[in-house]
Structures are given as C-alpha cells and as structure tokens.
Structure 1
Amino acid sequence: MRKLGQTNYEISPIGLGTWQFSQGSGLIGSYFSTISEKDMDAIVKMSLDGGINWFDTAEAYGKGKSEEALSGALKRLGVEEKDALIATKWWPLLRTAGSISSTIQKRKDALHGRRIDLYQVHQPFSFSSPEKEMKQMASLVKEGHIGAVGVSNFNRDKMDRAIQELKRHGVNLASNQMKYSLLDRRIETNGVLDLAKQNGVTIIAYSPLEQGILTGKFHQNPELVANLSGPRKHMSQFKPQGLAKTMPLIDLLKEIGHSYGVGAGQVALNWLVHFHDQTVVAIPGASKLKHAEDNVKVLGFKLTQDEMKRIDEESRKVAKM
C-alpha cells in the first residue's frame, strides 16, 4: 500500500479501471461490449481478493452506467466502503465550474450512495478556469461530499494552477490521471511528472498496457488484430510495422517475466508502479476474469533495479518522449 498524494488514503499500486463497465452506453461507453453482472462481480471480487482496494470510474463512462455497475457489484458482494475506495470524475464538456457542485448528487446517486473518495476533473476543457474548478472541489471536500481532489489530463501549467488554488483553501491536490506507459513517456519530459514529485501528487497512469500491446498477445498472434472492435485495429501500433518495432521490448518483458512466472503485461505494469518509487500507480482495466487475475499478479513481485534499468533503456528506443 502507498499514500494517495498527501491524503490519509492508503491505496494499492494497482487499481481497477472500470471504463469497460459502461454497458455499451453512450459514445464513450460504446468502446466496450456489454459485460454481464455475473462477470462484473467475478472481476471485482478477484481484484479485491488479490489486494486491489480501489476502483476508477467516471460520469462519462456510459453516462453514469459504469458508476452504477461498479457500485451494484460492490453491493451484491457485500463489500464495505472502507474496503473498496472509489475514484470518479466530473465531465467538463460544455459546462462551467458551477456544475461540479450542482451535479455531485447525481454522482452520489449513480454510486448508490457509496462514498466518493477521490473526485477528479476528467479533462481540462470546461468553460471555467482551473482556479474556479478547484474552488468548487475544495468546497465539496469541506462539505464532506468527497474525500480528495484530483485532475486528469492536466498539463504542467494547469496542474500547477490547480495545486496553488487548492492550497489557498487548505486542500492538497491528490492526483493527476495521465496517459503513461512504456510506449508513452511524455509526462517524463513535459514537466508533469517532475511537478508531481515536487508536490507529493500521485500520477494515476491510464492505458498502462497501451490497449493490450504491452501484453505481447498481438505480437504472438497478429491475427487477433482483425477481431478487434472499435478504433484500435486502425492504430499504427497494431499494424505489422508497429508490432515489429515494439517486438524487442516485448521480448525483454517476456524474458524478465519468465523468472517471476508472469507475462509481459505484468512486467510492464510492475515497472510502471516502481520505477519512480511511489509516485505512479496504474489502472489497467479488466473485461474478463483472466484480465483481473493478471492484474493482481503485479502485486506479487517487484523488479530489481537492474531489470528496471534494462526495461527503461529498451523502452526509450520506441516510446513517445
């Protein structure tokens, strides 16, 4: 377990992303197919039993369907609030900061009254400034609606402005959720990671396996690409030349994983949550029970400094920096 930012929350290095619980609803939710309640319950239970104690969802994931599905699974499993922390997000598109407070009850209703431990601004493109958004967030903390404040996809400047505004209200920014993986390391060079370390802010890495690329399954069986739904099959990294480019990294991940009895994906995630000490945590998803099993395996080992250095060097040859 490690601290979430400078809060009193203790979280596992791996959380469960639940975009896939959107039940195919809405534009964003349609990225994934519908998952049965039985399968969702099994995924959540496996995650909890394996040591994962927090779940990331959002208003935008199926217009609240993911929140409803997650809280429904937790209720059916009889899980207490303290054993399953929830992070969700406010969707800012075509809204002002005032919407943060005026819609909080809808978020609480979608979660069937379960506590919101971390509330995040999903994107930095509302009609209001980061300062006005953080003022609203600080009010929600003081009123007891939420436990901590986070942002998502905020660049260094907007993140710094959020940090400073929250401090004026006696609140610390707990997290910034950013795209980060062995194939996308831009936060290391654009100032976001450095600012996070300087201010004790946790980086929550989304897409940590690059849509499955870092598991190596598409390298092993390229025919799987043809069966993909959504836009993934058209992305350059899924094309033959893209797979060939990342093959040396996958081979290294598999080689190192062999000694731990895990696959390339588990090694990639383990690197992510340990390379920067305790600053970075990750939220891989799981649309099948096996995915949840793979996620919890990450908590069962720790790469050596030499192994992390080798992975770092190979990653730099192919990653966006």
Structure 2
Amino acid sequence: MAKTNSFNRFDVVSDDSDHSYLSSKKSGAHRFSNSGSEVFKKIMKEWRILEQNLPESIYVRVYEKRIDLLRAVIVGAAGTPYHDGLFFFDISLPPDYPNHPPDIHYRSFGLRLNPNLYASGRVCLSLINTWEGRKCEKWNPKQSTLLQVLLSIQALVLNEKPFFNEPGSDFFGRALVEKKSQAYNENAFALTCQTTIYLIRKPPKNFEIFVKGHFSERAHAILRACNVYVNGRARVGYYSIDGSCSSPPIARVSDKFKNWIQKLYPQLVKEFGIAGASLGTYVEQLNIHESSEKQQETDQKKKGIFKSITKRIKQALGLKKSDQNGNEAIKAHKEKRLNKGSSG
C-alpha cells in the first residue's frame, strides 16, 4: 500500500469524469482555451500558488483539459471532531474569474456534519460570498486566492467546536451552549466515521490510492478514538493520534452516541481491513467498559455516599477522643483538689 507521504500534494490529471461541475451551465471551459487571455493567466498563477504553498493536510488535483475545474481534499485536524477524516471539495471557476469567487461543492454523501457544509453539498463561507460577513471577509478579486479559500474551510469550518458556526448559537446560557456543543461534536465525529466508510467504498477519482493509504495509516488512531470516546476517557474531538488526551480524564457521552459508534465500529474494522490496514488485535466488537450514562451517575452517587460515611466515622472518632480528653481533665482536677485539701 502506497504511503500518503508519497502522494503529491498538487498534480495535473486527465480524468475529470466524476467531477460535480463537469456539465454545469456555469462552466467557462470554452473561454479558457486562449492561453493569452487574462483568465487563463490568473488560473495558471493560482496553480503555482497551490503547488508551492499547500500545507501537508491539503491535496489538490487540477485537470489538463478543464483548467476551470479542481478537486481538493482536506485532512481533519487533531483537536477537532473531524480528526483523521477526509473531506473532498469540487471547485469550479466562473468564466470571468477572478471577478467572481469560485463555486464549491462538498462531497457529502448526503450527510450534514457541519453547519457550513450542507447535505446537498452547499458550502457556506464568507470568502466565497455564500455567507454574510464584513467586507474584508468577502471575496476580493485583487487579493483573494483558492489557497485562502481552502485554508479558511480548514480553519473556520472544520474547527474544534463547529456548533458555534451555527447562527444564534450564543443565544443560550453558557452551560447549555457547552452541552449542545459537546452533543454536536459527538454527531460530527460519528458522521465523519460514516463518511470514512463511504469514501473507502467509493473514493473520488484520482484519489483512490490516497484514500486507501490514508485510512490504512490512520485506522488504529480512529479505532482507538472510538474506544476512548464511548468509554468517557476523553471528550469527543480531543483524542490525538499519539494516544494523548487534552481534556479531563472523565467525559460523559450520550447513550445515543455510544449506540451509534457501536453500529459503525464493525463496519470501520471491515473497511479498514479492505483498505489494507494491519489491525492486529482489533476485532469487530467495540469494548465498552461503562454501560451507560446512568451507570456513571450511579458511580458518582456511590462515591458521594462513601465520602459521607467516611466523614461520619471520622466525626464519631473525633467525638470519642474529645470525651476521653474531657474525662481525663476532670479526673486530674479532682486529684488536684484532694491533694490540696490533704496538704491544708
């Protein structure tokens, strides 16, 4: 299995047959044939920027016959509920590019795992004028680039607390907001796992080797994360590939999430095996140590009862000690008076 580090971050390919914008009426393919046009020159400049500046977590393919089309994949970052996942975006440049921003379609498989990424594939982002924002956040024909768009999706959309991307998320009280944010992270992680299964089964063209190589390498980390999360050893989104956790050791998760991951886990194991991952001791059964959220509450109550009993015992022992000291003091006082009387 080819390693992902041998997969070029930028490359020109020929097969565009499954691109979302291949037959789009907005396509300006016929206008890009003139290599002397300003649009052609701008696109070639964009290619150079991407080739020279893409980070390790973003990969792009452009097409030799359709230079108005691109495909990009973003690797989910550590510290987010999207960690180790892959997120594909098909891009189309308008005929008057860069006077208008690119059109972007998220390959969602019908799943909604982020407020800015719709199940229909719509991407809401200020930089491409599909979401509200200040003027400085909107597309600027003189300054904005495709690289900026991809970096914005990675940093602003696929972030550590996607719930706060939702309009009006700050309407609720702080405690309720955090609870809703945690629930959204659970949902986002589970849907990322579901997306992983779909991607292995049907990877986008020109990324087949990359998809299999990526999930072959990350299989252990994803399966470990499933175990860690359902057993409450880390808050969803905070498990890193090196096995460390950046959240409190106990993090309560919903029964809905546990049941969801239980169903997805054997499918993940199967697909990772097909992708070429060496799974070793991993089996298709998810090992849940704590049965439910109610069990955690019961454990907390038992702990409280134990503390209460311990406190009472200490108080009782302290009282006995106090009584013993008091009796000894009275006895000493009586002896002192007797001695004083005999000496008079």
Alignment TM-score > 0.5, same fold: no
TM-score range, shorter chain: under 0.3
TM-score by length of structure 2 reads: 0.24
TM-score by length of structure 1 reads: 0.25
Report which of the two structures shows the higher radius of gyration computed on alpha carbons.
2
